[in-house]
């Protein structure tokens, strides 16, 4: 099979094509003939040398795929064969074939575009776990999402609105703010022109938000804490603005805040399977009936993965960037 890998960390230009053996599914695994693969920020960080794959995972980047099941390992029923699925994987998505844990797959109905299916798993699993499980989001609460037109941001806006949240988001241009409003954001703040702390305070009448989904970290953490209401929850899922933050712990105590965060890739197969079951029961029906569709930015052929990464790093995209691996 053809896969896109790299010999040493670096810029997008380090990607090169290689021929690898088609992997064989082990116990509880299945083999997907990949049609499309999603591009995610962790892929970029892995290519830069800062996010190595967990032990046992493929060194080939790619954390989500869609395609057709062509082989199954022991413990996986034969009814999975020839089924259209999308899957959360620990690596290996930038290739013509990819192994996935059977419990980490979601069935793709025939009316769903298979390219859109590849744009769902990583953001859906991440947002569901961090907003609704770690953040304990409840109907009627207010969520602040930074980077509202990223893959994570667009998913968080749509899921939040579907489950009764008021959603505030930030973005870096008026065009992006308008796109966020089109997805249902109740307030979209152009952080280049407006202080988001002031805007949140005004919009909420001084109360603040119940949850912050933070992808920036660094100096944003202290400002996010200013935005939080009493008993608020701050959930960090990325550290694009820096690994360290200086905060006033007296404010944390006074407001009774919870600061938490997570990374999904290194979690156990069992945890991800339980998360997939919860998503299948509570969120997946919204995708099956078309209530929620991922926001698609641009598609690139697998061989042009360097251009896809360059687009993500430029920050001009709105929604998900995907790779076409095979026609479908």
| Chain segment 10-34, per-residue pLDDT in tens | 999 999 999 999 999 999 999 999 9
- Please give the average per-residue pLDDT across 92-115, as a whole number: 97
Q: What is the DSSP letter of 189?
A: E
In this structure, are 273 and 244 located in the same domain?
A: no
- Please give the average per-residue pLDDT across 246-259, as a whole number: 98
**145: region left, alpha or beta (phi > 0 left; psi from -120 to 50 alpha):** beta
| Chain segment 137-192, per-residue pLDDT in tens | 999 999 999 999 999 999 999 999 999 999 999 999 999 999 999 999 999 999 99
Which pLDDT band holds residue 245 (cuts at 50, 70, 90)? very high
172, 146 contact by CB (below 8 A): no
In this structure, are 226 and 282 located in the same domain?
A: no
In this structure, are 57 and 154 located in the same domain?
A: no
Q: Measured between alpha carbons, how far is 35 from 228 in angstroms, rounded to an integer?
A: 42
pTM reported for the whole predicted model: 0.96
Domain span at residue 277?
2-120+265-324
pLDDT at position 274: 98
In this structure, are 247 and 274 located in the same domain?
A: no
In this structure, are 271 and 257 located in the same domain?
A: no
- Please give the average per-residue pLDDT across 192-197, as a whole number: 97
In this structure, are 37 and 75 located in the same domain?
A: yes
Looking up residue 277, the CATH number of its domain turns out to be 3.90.180.10
Q: What is the pairing mode between strands 84-88 and 105-107?
A: antiparallel
Please state, rounded to an integer, the average pLDDT across all residues of the chain: 97
In this structure, are 157 and 271 located in the same domain?
A: no
In this structure, are 244 and 282 located in the same domain?
A: no
296, 317 contact by CB (below 8 A): no
In this structure, are 222 and 137 located in the same domain?
A: yes
Query: Is residue 328 over pLDDT 70?
Result: no
Tokens of 235: 């959930």
Domain tally for the chain? Answer: 2
pLDDT at position 275: 98
In this structure, are 37 and 135 located in the same domain?
A: no
Q: Measured between alpha carbons, how far is 23 from 307 in angstroms, rounded to an integer?
A: 27
CA end-to-end span of the chain: 18
In this structure, are 131 and 232 located in the same domain?
A: yes
pLDDT at position 277: 98
Of 235, 261, 287, the position where a domain reaches its end is 261
Tokens 């061989």 belong to which residue? 303
């Amino acid at each position: 099979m053809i896969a896109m890998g790299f010999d040493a960390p670096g810029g997008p230009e380090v990607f090169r094509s290689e021929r690898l053996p088609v992997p064989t599914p082990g116990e509880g695994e299945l083999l997907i003939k990949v049609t499309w693969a999603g591009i995610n920020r962790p892929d970029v960080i892995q290519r830069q040398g800062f996010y190595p794959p967990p032990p046992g995972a493929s060194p080939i980047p790619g954390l989500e795929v869609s395609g057709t099941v062509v082989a199954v390992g022991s413990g996986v029923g034969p009814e999975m064969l020839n089924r259209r699925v999308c899957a959360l994987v620990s690596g290996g998505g930038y290739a013509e074939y990819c192994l996935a844990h059977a419990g980490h797959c979601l069935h793709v109905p025939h009316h769903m575009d298979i390219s859109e299916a590849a744009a769902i798993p990583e953001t859906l699993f991440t947002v569901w776990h961090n907003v609704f499980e770690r953040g304990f989001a409840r109907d009627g609460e207010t969520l602040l999402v930074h980077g509202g037109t990223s893959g994570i941001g667009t998913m968080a806006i749509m899921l939040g609105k579907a489950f009764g949240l008021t959603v505030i988001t930030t973005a870096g241009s008026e065009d992006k703010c308008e796109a966020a409003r089109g997805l249902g954001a109740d307030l979209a703040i152009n952080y280049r022109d407006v202080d988001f702390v002031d805007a949140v305070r005004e919009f909420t009448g001084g109360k603040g938000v119940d949850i912050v989904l933070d992808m920036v970290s660094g100096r944003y953490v202290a400002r996010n804490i200013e935005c939080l209401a009493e008993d608020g929850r701050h959930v960090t899922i990325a550290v694009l603005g820096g690994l360290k933050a200086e905060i006033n712990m007296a404010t944390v105590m006074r407001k009774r805040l919870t600061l938490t965060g997570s990374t999904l890739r290194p979690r156990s197969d069992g945890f991800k399977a339980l998360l997939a079951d919860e998503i299948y029961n509570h969120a997946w029906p919204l995708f099956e009936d078309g209530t929620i569709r991922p926001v698609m930015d641009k598609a690139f052929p697998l061989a042009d993965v360097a251009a896809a990464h360059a687009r993500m790093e430029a920050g001009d995209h709105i929604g998900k960037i995907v790779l076409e691996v095979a026609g479908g």
